[in-house]
Amino acid sequence: MRLRQGPCRPADLPLLAVPVPVSVLPSLSPPLSSPASSRCHALRPLFVDAMKFSTAALSATLVALASGAAAQLEVIAPGGPNLWWIAESDNVVTWTCKTSPYTNFTVSIANKDVKVLTSPLPFISQQNNFDCSKLITKDQVNMAPATGYTIQLSNPFNLTDIYAESQEFEIKALGAPYPASSATPTLGGSATGSGAGSASATGSTPSATGGASGSNGASGLSAPGTLAAVAVAAFGLIFA
């Protein structure tokens, strides 16, 4: 059984996935000798335009998706071994407001040990992202000294939808010093004072500073993995 050849031979039309300059198209097939070949020849500019459009669409899609991948929310402080809180004292929460895609969120404190805290405890119902940091008074959060605490920034309407979570940190006993100001990262790698001095019944308190940005190992989007997924998705959108 012989398969009938369609009106357009493979050599008459370039593959969409391989851009071919218009100047070399005539050399890709033998001289035209039939109405079918004439029709194929007339279609060539359309295929070339389609290839150019596909390339442009791919570039635009990758740029848009990569920009979205770069936008992320992270908790800068507290978190990690060098950024702790002090019990029965005022403390500060700082986040990457300049790269956050969210306008507001709920701020909660959690602990992996149910003996310390059975479930995440919200202490700010709706926090504006543009504040960048917030001074938390001892009346808002008064947790017992322990390790394993985290700060969660969540969807105000669904606390299980966690936008970002800090590294685990410790709440030290009253009287311990606040972290050094150099321990808090900011945009460009410099430091800002999230707290200085020692905590006591009448001791000094940390100060909240706006505009902080950086990374302290908090959860967020993984750039390499995300960009790979972006590339695959973009190819799927164009060639589907």
pLDDT in tens, 64-92: 444 444 569 999 999 999 999 999 999 99
- From residue 80, how far is each of 65, 75, 168, 225 by CA, in Å? 31, 11, 6, 24
Distance CA 25, CA 20 (A): 7
Task: Give the chain's mean pLDDT.
Answer: 71
Please report the pLDDT score of residue 46 as a whole number: 53
How many Å separate Cα 168 from the centre of its chain?
Answer: 20
User: What percent of the chain is modeled with pLDDT above 90?
Assistant: 45
Q: What is the mean pLDDT of residues 37-53?
A: 54
Res 165 pLDDT > 70: yes
Ranges of each domain in the chain: 14-20+48-72+221-240, 75-219
At 210, give phi and psi (nearest 5°): -85, 165
Helix axes 223-239, 35-70, angle to 10 degrees: 150
Least confident of 57-61, 176-180, 181-185: 57-61
In the structure, what pLDDT confidence band is assigned to residue 184 with cuts at 50, 70 and 90?
confident
User: What percent of the chain is modeled with pLDDT above 70?
Assistant: 48
Please report the pLDDT score of residue 86 as a whole number: 98
Please report the pLDDT score of residue 222 as a whole number: 38
Q: What is the mean pLDDT of residues 92-99?
A: 96
Q: What is the mean pLDDT of residues 14-37?
A: 50
In the structure, what pLDDT confidence band is assigned to residue 145 with cuts at 50, 70 and 90?
very high
> Residue holding tokens 């917030």?
134
Residue 213 tokens read as: 């940005």
Q: What is the sign of the dihedral through the CA atoms of 209, 212, 218 and 219?
A: positive
Please report the pLDDT score of residue 41 as a whole number: 55
Please report the pLDDT score of residue 225 as a whole number: 44
Res 232 pLDDT > 70: no
Query: pLDDT by residue (tens digit) across 194-229?
Result: 333 333 333 445 666 554 444 443 443 334 444 444
Q: What is the DSSP-derived secondary structure letter of residue 9?
A: -
The CATH classification number of 75-219 equals 2.60.40
